[in-house]
Structure 1
Amino acid sequence: MERTNTMQFEIAADGRSVHISRQYAAPLEQVWKAWTEASILDQWWAPEPWKCHTKHMDFREGGEWLYSMNGPDGEVAWSRCSYGEIELLSYFEGKDNFCDEHGQPNADMPSMHWRTEFSENEMGTRVENHLRAKSAEDLSQLVDMGFREGFEMGQNNLGDWLANNK
Protein backbone atom coordinates (compact mmCIF):
# COMPACT_ATOMS: atom_id res chain seq x y z
CA MET A 1 0.00 0.00 0.00
CA GLU A 2 1.32 3.46 -0.93
CA ARG A 3 2.40 5.79 1.84
CA THR A 4 0.38 9.00 1.87
CA ASN A 5 3.37 11.23 2.56
CA THR A 6 5.54 10.23 -0.41
CA MET A 7 5.75 12.54 -3.39
CA GLN A 8 6.67 10.99 -6.73
CA PHE A 9 8.63 13.24 -9.12
CA GLU A 10 9.41 11.99 -12.63
CA ILE A 11 10.99 13.97 -15.44
CA ALA A 12 9.85 12.71 -18.85
CA ALA A 13 12.26 11.44 -21.49
CA ASP A 14 11.77 14.68 -23.47
CA GLY A 15 13.35 16.61 -20.60
CA ARG A 16 10.70 19.32 -20.72
CA SER A 17 7.86 17.68 -18.81
CA VAL A 18 7.52 16.49 -15.24
CA HIS A 19 4.88 14.44 -13.48
CA ILE A 20 4.41 14.90 -9.73
CA SER A 21 1.94 12.87 -7.70
CA ARG A 22 1.03 12.45 -4.07
CA GLN A 23 -1.68 10.70 -2.09
CA TYR A 24 -3.38 12.52 0.82
CA ALA A 25 -5.45 10.94 3.59
CA ALA A 26 -8.19 13.55 3.18
CA PRO A 27 -11.48 13.86 1.29
CA LEU A 28 -11.53 15.26 -2.23
CA GLU A 29 -13.47 18.41 -1.32
CA GLN A 30 -10.95 19.38 1.36
CA VAL A 31 -7.93 18.80 -0.92
CA TRP A 32 -9.60 20.71 -3.78
CA LYS A 33 -10.26 23.71 -1.50
CA ALA A 34 -6.65 23.63 -0.29
CA TRP A 35 -5.47 24.04 -3.91
CA THR A 36 -8.10 26.59 -5.01
CA GLU A 37 -8.74 28.99 -2.10
CA ALA A 38 -6.18 31.73 -1.43
CA SER A 39 -6.65 31.76 2.35
CA ILE A 40 -5.67 28.08 2.49
CA LEU A 41 -2.92 28.24 -0.19
CA ASP A 42 -1.21 30.98 1.81
CA GLN A 43 -0.90 28.54 4.71
CA TRP A 44 0.98 25.80 2.85
CA TRP A 45 2.21 26.74 -0.63
CA ALA A 46 5.69 28.08 0.20
CA PRO A 47 8.53 25.89 1.46
CA GLU A 48 9.40 26.74 5.07
CA PRO A 49 10.71 29.10 6.28
CA TRP A 50 9.25 31.02 3.32
CA LYS A 51 5.63 32.21 3.43
CA CYS A 52 3.12 32.63 0.63
CA HIS A 53 1.07 35.82 0.36
CA THR A 54 -1.75 36.21 -2.16
CA LYS A 55 -2.16 39.67 -3.65
CA HIS A 56 -5.30 38.57 -5.50
CA MET A 57 -6.92 35.38 -6.72
CA ASP A 58 -9.76 34.84 -9.14
CA PHE A 59 -10.15 31.07 -9.48
CA ARG A 60 -12.12 30.75 -12.68
CA GLU A 61 -11.34 30.10 -16.33
CA GLY A 62 -9.51 33.21 -17.50
CA GLY A 63 -8.79 34.31 -13.91
CA GLU A 64 -5.43 34.50 -12.18
CA TRP A 65 -3.61 34.05 -8.91
CA LEU A 66 -0.93 36.67 -8.19
CA TYR A 67 1.17 35.80 -5.17
CA SER A 68 4.56 36.28 -3.60
CA MET A 69 6.83 33.97 -1.70
CA ASN A 70 8.50 35.85 1.11
CA GLY A 71 11.78 34.69 2.59
CA PRO A 72 13.02 35.00 6.16
CA ASP A 73 15.60 37.63 5.18
CA GLY A 74 13.18 39.91 3.33
CA GLU A 75 13.42 38.16 -0.05
CA VAL A 76 10.31 38.45 -2.24
CA ALA A 77 9.66 36.34 -5.35
CA TRP A 78 6.46 37.03 -7.32
CA SER A 79 4.54 34.51 -9.45
CA ARG A 80 1.33 34.50 -11.42
CA CYS A 81 -0.85 31.59 -12.41
CA SER A 82 -3.23 32.33 -15.28
CA TYR A 83 -6.05 29.79 -15.09
CA GLY A 84 -7.22 27.94 -18.17
CA GLU A 85 -9.72 25.10 -18.17
CA ILE A 86 -11.29 24.14 -14.82
CA GLU A 87 -13.55 21.19 -14.04
CA LEU A 88 -14.84 21.40 -10.47
CA LEU A 89 -13.40 18.73 -8.15
CA SER A 90 -11.58 17.12 -11.08
CA TYR A 91 -8.78 19.29 -12.53
CA PHE A 92 -7.55 22.73 -13.41
CA GLU A 93 -5.00 24.01 -15.87
CA GLY A 94 -2.90 27.11 -15.87
CA LYS A 95 0.26 28.83 -16.94
CA ASP A 96 2.61 29.79 -14.14
CA ASN A 97 5.39 32.31 -14.53
CA PHE A 98 7.70 34.45 -12.45
CA CYS A 99 6.67 38.09 -12.58
CA ASP A 100 6.81 41.45 -10.82
CA GLU A 101 4.33 42.60 -8.17
CA HIS A 102 1.98 43.79 -10.95
CA GLY A 103 1.92 40.41 -12.71
CA GLN A 104 4.21 41.43 -15.58
CA PRO A 105 6.15 38.30 -16.66
CA ASN A 106 9.90 38.06 -16.11
CA ALA A 107 11.18 37.08 -19.57
CA ASP A 108 14.49 35.87 -18.10
CA MET A 109 12.75 33.13 -16.10
CA PRO A 110 11.02 29.99 -17.37
CA SER A 111 7.26 29.52 -17.35
CA MET A 112 5.32 26.27 -17.00
CA HIS A 113 1.99 24.93 -18.13
CA TRP A 114 0.27 23.06 -15.27
CA ARG A 115 -2.51 20.52 -15.19
CA THR A 116 -3.47 19.50 -11.66
CA GLU A 117 -5.82 16.51 -11.39
CA PHE A 118 -7.69 15.24 -8.33
CA SER A 119 -9.11 11.76 -7.81
CA GLU A 120 -10.75 10.28 -4.73
CA ASN A 121 -9.93 6.71 -3.72
CA GLU A 122 -10.17 4.40 -0.70
CA MET A 123 -7.14 6.11 0.91
CA GLY A 124 -8.32 9.69 0.40
CA THR A 125 -7.34 11.89 -2.54
CA ARG A 126 -4.57 11.59 -5.10
CA VAL A 127 -3.21 14.74 -6.72
CA GLU A 128 -1.40 14.48 -10.06
CA ASN A 129 0.53 17.48 -11.39
CA HIS A 130 1.60 17.48 -15.03
CA LEU A 131 3.98 20.34 -15.84
CA ARG A 132 5.44 21.26 -19.22
CA ALA A 133 8.12 23.81 -19.96
CA LYS A 134 8.88 25.41 -23.33
CA SER A 135 12.20 23.58 -23.43
CA ALA A 136 14.35 21.08 -21.57
CA GLU A 137 16.64 23.99 -20.67
CA ASP A 138 13.77 25.82 -18.96
CA LEU A 139 12.83 22.77 -16.91
CA SER A 140 16.47 22.18 -16.04
CA GLN A 141 16.74 25.80 -14.84
CA LEU A 142 13.74 25.31 -12.52
CA VAL A 143 15.09 22.03 -11.16
CA ASP A 144 18.51 23.65 -10.58
CA MET A 145 16.78 26.43 -8.61
CA GLY A 146 15.44 23.81 -6.18
CA PHE A 147 11.95 23.36 -7.62
CA ARG A 148 11.69 19.68 -6.68
CA GLU A 149 12.79 20.22 -3.09
CA GLY A 150 10.68 23.36 -2.63
CA PHE A 151 7.59 21.74 -4.14
CA GLU A 152 8.00 18.70 -1.90
CA MET A 153 8.33 20.92 1.16
CA GLY A 154 5.09 22.65 0.16
CA GLN A 155 3.38 19.29 -0.32
CA ASN A 156 4.53 18.26 3.16
CA ASN A 157 3.03 21.52 4.47
CA LEU A 158 -0.22 20.63 2.72
CA GLY A 159 -0.21 17.15 4.27
CA ASP A 160 0.22 18.72 7.71
CA TRP A 161 -2.51 21.30 7.04
CA LEU A 162 -4.94 18.60 5.92
CA ALA A 163 -4.18 16.46 9.00
CA ASN A 164 -4.75 19.45 11.31
CA ASN A 165 -7.95 20.67 9.63
CA LYS A 166 -10.16 17.57 9.50
Structure 2
Amino acid sequence: MPITTVDQDLDALTMRVVADFPVPVRRLWDAYADPRQIERFWGPPEWPATFTRHDMFPGGRSDYYMTSPEGEPSGGYWEFLDVDAPRSFEVRDGFAGPDGEPNPEMPSMRMTFEFEETGDGSRLTTTTYFDSLDQLEQLLAMGMREGMTAAMGQIDDVLQDGTPLDPARGTVSQEIDDRRVRISRVLRGETEQVWRAHHESDLMKRWMLGPDGWRMPVCEIGDEVGQSYRYEWEAEDGSERFGFTGEVLHLESPRREVVTERMIDAGPTETVNEMTLTPLENGTLLSLVITYPDRATREEILGTGMVDGMEDSYARLEREVLQGA
Protein backbone atom coordinates (compact mmCIF):
# COMPACT_ATOMS: atom_id res chain seq x y z
CA MET A 1 0.00 0.00 0.00
CA PRO A 2 1.68 3.29 -1.12
CA ILE A 3 -0.34 5.59 1.18
CA THR A 4 1.64 6.82 4.19
CA THR A 5 -0.82 9.32 5.75
CA VAL A 6 -4.45 10.44 5.45
CA ASP A 7 -5.24 13.64 7.38
CA GLN A 8 -8.50 15.55 7.78
CA ASP A 9 -8.43 19.16 8.97
CA LEU A 10 -11.92 20.24 9.93
CA ASP A 11 -10.81 23.82 10.56
CA ALA A 12 -9.09 24.18 7.17
CA LEU A 13 -11.81 22.08 5.46
CA THR A 14 -9.25 19.82 3.80
CA MET A 15 -8.32 16.18 3.44
CA ARG A 16 -4.72 15.35 2.55
CA VAL A 17 -3.44 12.00 1.28
CA VAL A 18 0.30 11.34 1.02
CA ALA A 19 1.61 8.35 -0.92
CA ASP A 20 5.16 7.21 -1.80
CA PHE A 21 6.16 5.23 -4.88
CA PRO A 22 9.42 3.53 -5.93
CA VAL A 23 9.41 5.14 -9.40
CA PRO A 24 10.61 8.48 -10.82
CA VAL A 25 8.24 11.44 -10.73
CA ARG A 26 7.78 11.38 -14.49
CA ARG A 27 6.58 7.77 -14.47
CA LEU A 28 4.01 8.58 -11.80
CA TRP A 29 2.90 11.71 -13.66
CA ASP A 30 2.40 9.80 -16.91
CA ALA A 31 0.11 7.34 -15.09
CA TYR A 32 -2.19 10.27 -14.30
CA ALA A 33 -1.84 11.84 -17.76
CA ASP A 34 -2.76 8.68 -19.68
CA PRO A 35 -6.49 7.80 -19.64
CA ARG A 36 -5.67 4.14 -20.25
CA GLN A 37 -3.71 4.07 -16.99
CA ILE A 38 -5.62 6.40 -14.68
CA GLU A 39 -8.85 4.50 -15.27
CA ARG A 40 -7.13 1.42 -13.82
CA PHE A 41 -6.82 3.05 -10.39
CA TRP A 42 -9.03 6.14 -10.08
CA GLY A 43 -12.04 4.09 -9.01
CA PRO A 44 -11.99 1.62 -6.09
CA PRO A 45 -11.64 -2.05 -7.15
CA GLU A 46 -15.38 -2.65 -6.83
CA TRP A 47 -16.18 0.61 -8.70
CA PRO A 48 -13.83 0.61 -11.73
CA ALA A 49 -13.51 3.84 -13.69
CA THR A 50 -13.81 4.48 -17.42
CA PHE A 51 -12.49 7.76 -18.83
CA THR A 52 -14.28 8.93 -21.96
CA ARG A 53 -12.31 12.18 -22.13
CA HIS A 54 -9.05 13.26 -20.49
CA ASP A 55 -7.60 16.64 -21.49
CA MET A 56 -4.74 17.33 -19.11
CA PHE A 57 -4.07 21.00 -19.85
CA PRO A 58 -5.35 24.26 -18.31
CA GLY A 59 -8.96 24.72 -19.35
CA GLY A 60 -9.22 21.05 -20.29
CA ARG A 61 -11.74 18.59 -19.00
CA SER A 62 -12.03 14.94 -18.09
CA ASP A 63 -15.23 12.93 -18.15
CA TYR A 64 -15.45 9.57 -16.47
CA TYR A 65 -17.85 7.18 -14.86
CA MET A 66 -17.49 4.46 -12.24
CA THR A 67 -19.47 1.25 -12.57
CA SER A 68 -21.05 -0.26 -9.45
CA PRO A 69 -20.97 -4.00 -8.66
CA GLU A 70 -24.55 -4.08 -9.99
CA GLY A 71 -23.49 -2.52 -13.29
CA GLU A 72 -24.88 0.96 -12.63
CA PRO A 73 -22.74 3.93 -13.79
CA SER A 74 -21.96 6.95 -11.62
CA GLY A 75 -20.54 9.90 -13.54
CA GLY A 76 -17.85 12.41 -12.62
CA TYR A 77 -15.77 15.14 -14.20
CA TRP A 78 -12.60 17.16 -13.74
CA GLU A 79 -12.11 20.74 -14.86
CA PHE A 80 -8.37 21.40 -15.09
CA LEU A 81 -7.59 24.72 -13.39
CA ASP A 82 -3.79 24.50 -13.61
CA VAL A 83 -1.19 22.07 -14.97
CA ASP A 84 2.55 22.33 -14.31
CA ALA A 85 4.00 19.12 -15.74
CA PRO A 86 5.38 17.06 -14.12
CA ARG A 87 5.14 18.84 -10.77
CA SER A 88 1.47 19.54 -10.09
CA PHE A 89 -2.03 19.90 -11.40
CA GLU A 90 -5.26 21.28 -9.95
CA VAL A 91 -8.83 20.35 -10.82
CA ARG A 92 -12.41 21.02 -9.91
CA ASP A 93 -13.82 17.56 -9.22
CA GLY A 94 -17.53 16.91 -9.27
CA PHE A 95 -20.39 14.55 -9.97
CA ALA A 96 -22.02 14.29 -13.39
CA GLY A 97 -25.49 13.24 -14.46
CA PRO A 98 -26.40 10.65 -17.10
CA ASP A 99 -25.85 13.26 -19.83
CA GLY A 100 -22.28 13.90 -18.64
CA GLU A 101 -23.08 17.42 -17.46
CA PRO A 102 -22.29 18.54 -13.87
CA ASN A 103 -24.95 17.48 -11.39
CA PRO A 104 -26.02 20.70 -9.58
CA GLU A 105 -27.57 18.69 -6.74
CA MET A 106 -24.20 17.20 -5.76
CA PRO A 107 -21.14 19.00 -4.36
CA SER A 108 -17.93 19.71 -6.24
CA MET A 109 -14.52 20.32 -4.70
CA ARG A 110 -11.08 21.63 -5.57
CA MET A 111 -8.23 19.10 -5.61
CA THR A 112 -4.48 19.57 -5.98
CA PHE A 113 -1.97 16.86 -6.92
CA GLU A 114 1.67 17.61 -6.08
CA PHE A 115 4.52 15.39 -7.29
CA GLU A 116 8.01 15.50 -5.79
CA GLU A 117 11.19 13.45 -5.88
CA THR A 118 12.29 11.45 -2.83
CA GLY A 119 15.36 9.44 -2.05
CA ASP A 120 13.52 6.25 -2.98
CA GLY A 121 11.42 7.50 -5.88
CA SER A 122 8.52 9.92 -5.76
CA ARG A 123 5.83 11.28 -3.48
CA LEU A 124 2.31 12.36 -4.38
CA THR A 125 0.35 14.66 -2.09
CA THR A 126 -3.34 14.94 -2.92
CA THR A 127 -5.27 17.68 -1.11
CA THR A 128 -9.02 18.10 -1.34
CA TYR A 129 -10.49 21.51 -0.44
CA PHE A 130 -14.14 21.54 0.61
CA ASP A 131 -16.47 24.52 0.44
CA SER A 132 -18.03 23.95 3.86
CA LEU A 133 -17.98 21.68 6.87
CA ASP A 134 -21.33 20.24 5.80
CA GLN A 135 -19.88 19.33 2.42
CA LEU A 136 -16.82 17.72 3.99
CA GLU A 137 -18.96 15.66 6.34
CA GLN A 138 -21.36 14.70 3.54
CA LEU A 139 -18.60 13.35 1.30
CA LEU A 140 -16.83 11.58 4.12
CA ALA A 141 -20.14 9.93 5.02
CA MET A 142 -20.41 8.79 1.39
CA GLY A 143 -17.10 6.92 1.81
CA MET A 144 -14.74 9.35 0.06
CA ARG A 145 -11.80 8.61 2.36
CA GLU A 146 -12.19 4.83 2.09
CA GLY A 147 -12.76 5.02 -1.65
CA MET A 148 -9.66 7.11 -2.29
CA THR A 149 -7.53 4.84 -0.12
CA ALA A 150 -8.75 1.73 -1.96
CA ALA A 151 -8.27 3.36 -5.35
CA MET A 152 -4.70 4.50 -4.69
CA GLY A 153 -3.83 1.03 -3.48
CA GLN A 154 -4.00 -0.06 -7.13
CA ILE A 155 -1.39 2.35 -8.48
CA ASP A 156 1.64 0.15 -7.81
CA ASP A 157 0.44 -2.52 -10.25
CA VAL A 158 -0.12 0.12 -12.92
CA LEU A 159 3.34 1.61 -12.45
CA GLN A 160 4.97 -1.79 -12.88
CA ASP A 161 3.33 -2.19 -16.29
CA GLY A 162 5.19 -0.19 -18.90
CA THR A 163 3.29 -1.65 -21.86
CA PRO A 164 0.89 1.29 -22.44
CA LEU A 165 3.83 3.71 -22.75
CA ASP A 166 5.79 1.65 -25.29
CA PRO A 167 5.58 3.08 -28.84
CA ALA A 168 6.48 -0.37 -30.16
CA ARG A 169 3.11 -1.61 -28.92
CA GLY A 170 1.49 0.06 -31.90
CA THR A 171 -2.11 1.13 -32.33
CA VAL A 172 -4.62 -0.30 -29.86
CA SER A 173 -8.43 -0.10 -29.76
CA GLN A 174 -10.53 -0.27 -26.60
CA GLU A 175 -14.32 -0.43 -26.43
CA ILE A 176 -15.62 2.20 -23.99
CA ASP A 177 -19.33 1.44 -24.27
CA ASP A 178 -21.85 0.27 -26.86
CA ARG A 179 -21.18 3.19 -29.20
CA ARG A 180 -17.69 4.42 -28.43
CA VAL A 181 -14.19 3.10 -29.03
CA ARG A 182 -10.84 4.63 -28.07
CA ILE A 183 -7.94 4.27 -30.51
CA SER A 184 -4.58 5.03 -28.92
CA ARG A 185 -0.95 5.17 -30.01
CA VAL A 186 2.23 6.55 -28.43
CA LEU A 187 4.14 8.41 -31.14
CA ARG A 188 7.86 9.18 -30.98
CA GLY A 189 7.62 12.93 -31.38
CA GLU A 190 6.75 16.20 -29.68
CA THR A 191 3.10 17.16 -29.30
CA GLU A 192 3.46 20.21 -31.57
CA GLN A 193 5.01 18.03 -34.29
CA VAL A 194 2.18 15.51 -34.14
CA TRP A 195 -0.40 18.31 -34.28
CA ARG A 196 1.26 19.87 -37.34
CA ALA A 197 1.34 16.48 -39.04
CA HIS A 198 -2.47 16.36 -38.68
CA HIS A 199 -3.08 19.93 -39.88
CA GLU A 200 -0.70 20.61 -42.77
CA SER A 201 -1.71 19.03 -46.06
CA ASP A 202 1.84 18.52 -47.35
CA LEU A 203 2.68 16.50 -44.24
CA MET A 204 -0.60 14.56 -44.18
CA LYS A 205 -0.10 13.41 -47.77
CA ARG A 206 3.20 11.85 -46.72
CA TRP A 207 1.84 9.60 -43.98
CA MET A 208 -1.97 9.31 -43.84
CA LEU A 209 -2.07 6.61 -46.51
CA GLY A 210 -2.96 3.36 -44.74
CA PRO A 211 -1.41 0.25 -46.32
CA ASP A 212 1.18 0.63 -49.09
CA GLY A 213 -0.18 1.19 -52.56
CA TRP A 214 -2.34 4.27 -51.93
CA ARG A 215 -1.96 8.00 -52.50
CA MET A 216 -3.91 11.00 -51.18
CA PRO A 217 -4.81 13.33 -54.07
CA VAL A 218 -7.28 15.44 -52.03
CA CYS A 219 -6.42 16.87 -48.62
CA GLU A 220 -8.55 19.90 -47.82
CA ILE A 221 -8.14 20.81 -44.14
CA GLY A 222 -10.62 22.58 -41.91
CA ASP A 223 -8.56 24.74 -39.59
CA GLU A 224 -11.36 26.69 -37.88
CA VAL A 225 -14.51 25.69 -36.02
CA GLY A 226 -17.39 25.39 -38.47
CA GLN A 227 -15.19 24.73 -41.49
CA SER A 228 -15.43 21.53 -43.53
CA TYR A 229 -12.63 19.17 -44.49
CA ARG A 230 -12.34 16.60 -47.26
CA TYR A 231 -9.83 13.76 -47.65
CA GLU A 232 -9.70 11.36 -50.61
CA TRP A 233 -7.49 8.38 -51.31
CA GLU A 234 -6.82 6.55 -54.55
CA ALA A 235 -5.10 3.26 -55.33
CA GLU A 236 -1.83 3.85 -57.17
CA ASP A 237 -3.14 1.84 -60.13
CA GLY A 238 -6.31 3.95 -60.22
CA SER A 239 -8.61 1.01 -59.56
CA GLU A 240 -10.22 2.31 -56.34
CA ARG A 241 -11.05 5.64 -54.74
CA PHE A 242 -12.80 6.68 -51.51
CA GLY A 243 -12.86 9.57 -49.10
CA PHE A 244 -14.24 11.23 -45.98
CA THR A 245 -15.65 14.63 -45.20
CA GLY A 246 -16.94 16.38 -42.10
CA GLU A 247 -17.06 19.53 -40.02
CA VAL A 248 -14.76 20.88 -37.30
CA LEU A 249 -16.69 21.15 -34.01
CA HIS A 250 -13.87 22.11 -31.63
CA LEU A 251 -10.23 23.08 -32.08
CA GLU A 252 -7.69 23.78 -29.36
CA SER A 253 -4.18 23.72 -30.81
CA PRO A 254 -2.04 21.74 -30.18
CA ARG A 255 -3.96 19.43 -27.86
CA ARG A 256 -7.56 18.70 -28.87
CA GLU A 257 -9.77 18.51 -31.96
CA VAL A 258 -13.36 17.30 -32.40
CA VAL A 259 -14.82 16.67 -35.86
CA THR A 260 -17.70 14.86 -37.50
CA GLU A 261 -16.85 12.29 -40.16
CA ARG A 262 -18.84 10.56 -42.89
CA MET A 263 -17.81 8.57 -45.94
CA ILE A 264 -18.29 10.36 -49.25
CA ASP A 265 -21.12 8.88 -51.35
CA ALA A 266 -21.87 6.22 -48.74
CA GLY A 267 -25.04 7.42 -47.04
CA PRO A 268 -25.73 9.55 -43.96
CA THR A 269 -23.82 7.49 -41.36
CA GLU A 270 -21.73 9.94 -39.31
CA THR A 271 -19.33 9.60 -36.42
CA VAL A 272 -17.91 12.12 -33.94
CA ASN A 273 -14.13 11.87 -33.59
CA GLU A 274 -12.37 13.42 -30.56
CA MET A 275 -8.57 13.55 -30.82
CA THR A 276 -6.47 14.47 -27.78
CA LEU A 277 -2.67 14.74 -27.78
CA THR A 278 -0.92 14.28 -24.43
CA PRO A 279 2.84 14.76 -23.92
CA LEU A 280 4.54 11.85 -22.18
CA GLU A 281 8.15 11.25 -21.24
CA ASN A 282 8.85 9.13 -24.32
CA GLY A 283 6.65 10.86 -26.88
CA THR A 284 3.05 11.92 -27.46
CA LEU A 285 -0.02 9.87 -26.66
CA LEU A 286 -2.64 10.17 -29.38
CA SER A 287 -6.12 9.24 -28.11
CA LEU A 288 -8.96 9.15 -30.60
CA VAL A 289 -12.44 8.53 -29.16
CA ILE A 290 -14.92 7.69 -31.93
CA THR A 291 -18.66 7.75 -31.27
CA TYR A 292 -20.74 5.68 -33.71
CA PRO A 293 -24.51 5.86 -34.27
CA ASP A 294 -24.94 2.39 -32.77
CA ARG A 295 -23.08 -0.78 -31.80
CA ALA A 296 -23.73 -2.57 -35.09
CA THR A 297 -22.18 0.27 -37.11
CA ARG A 298 -19.17 0.33 -34.84
CA GLU A 299 -18.58 -3.41 -35.20
CA GLU A 300 -19.01 -3.24 -38.97
CA ILE A 301 -16.45 -0.45 -39.39
CA LEU A 302 -13.90 -1.91 -36.98
CA GLY A 303 -14.27 -5.23 -38.80
CA THR A 304 -12.90 -3.68 -42.00
CA GLY A 305 -9.37 -3.70 -40.56
CA MET A 306 -9.48 0.01 -39.78
CA VAL A 307 -7.12 -0.22 -36.80
CA ASP A 308 -4.49 -2.10 -38.82
CA GLY A 309 -4.67 0.57 -41.49
CA MET A 310 -4.26 3.29 -38.89
CA GLU A 311 -1.16 1.54 -37.52
CA ASP A 312 0.35 1.49 -41.01
CA SER A 313 -0.22 5.24 -41.22
CA TYR A 314 1.08 6.02 -37.70
CA ALA A 315 4.22 3.94 -38.27
CA ARG A 316 4.78 5.91 -41.48
CA LEU A 317 4.18 9.17 -39.56
CA GLU A 318 6.95 8.29 -37.14
CA ARG A 319 9.31 7.06 -39.83
CA GLU A 320 8.88 9.67 -42.53
CA VAL A 321 7.70 12.82 -40.71
CA LEU A 322 8.48 12.90 -36.99
CA GLN A 323 11.94 11.34 -37.06
CA GLY A 324 13.00 13.70 -39.84
CA ALA A 325 11.54 16.83 -38.22
With the length of structure 2 as denominator, give the TM-score of the two structures. Answer: 0.48
Instruction: Give the drift of 1:164.
Output: 4.3
Question: Is residue 2:131 matched to residue 1:123?
Answer: no
Preserved CA contact (<8 Å) 2:93 2:108 = yes
Instruction: Give the drift of 1:107.
Output: 2.0
Q: Which one of 156, 162, 165 corresponds to residue 153 of structure 2? A: 156
Question: Is residue 2:68 matched to residue 1:71?
Answer: yes
Question: Is residue 2:11 matched to residue 1:14?
Answer: yes
Deviations along 1:79-122, whole A, 9 cap, x unmatched?
A: 00000111011000110000124332212211110110000111
Question: Is residue 2:63 matched to residue 1:87?
Answer: no
Instruction: Give the drift of 1:5.
Output: 2.4
Gaps of 5+ in 2: 164-325
Supply the distance in 2 between the matched residues of 1:24 and 1:157 (Cα, whole angstroms). Answer: 12
Q: Which one of 108, 112, 121 corresponds to residue 109 of structure 2? A: 112
Gaps of 5+ in 1: none
Query: Equivalent residue for 1:35?
Result: 32
Supply the distance in 2 between the matched residues of 1:26 and 1:83 (Cα, whole angstroms). Answer: 25
Supply the distance in 1 between the matched residues of 2:10 and 2:114 (Cα, whole angstroms). Answer: 21
Query: Equivalent residue for 1:62?
Result: 59
From the CA coordinates, give the structure whose radius of gyration is larger. 2
CA RMSD across the alignment: 1.6
Query: Equivalent residue for 1:103?
Result: 100
Supply the distance in 2 between the matched residues of 1:101 and 1:55 (Cα, whole angstroms). Answer: 13
Supply the distance in 2 between the matched residues of 1:15 and 1:71 (Cα, whole angstroms). Answer: 32
Percent sequence identity over matched residues?
26
Preserved CA contact (<8 Å) 1:15 1:139 = no
Supply the distance in 2 between the matched residues of 1:156 and 1:108 (Cα, whole angstroms). Answer: 30
Give the SS at the match of 1:159. helix
Give the SS at the match of 2:3. coil
Give the SS at the match of 1:139. helix
Give the SS at the match of 2:40. helix
With the length of structure 1 as denominator, give the TM-score of the two structures. Answer: 0.91
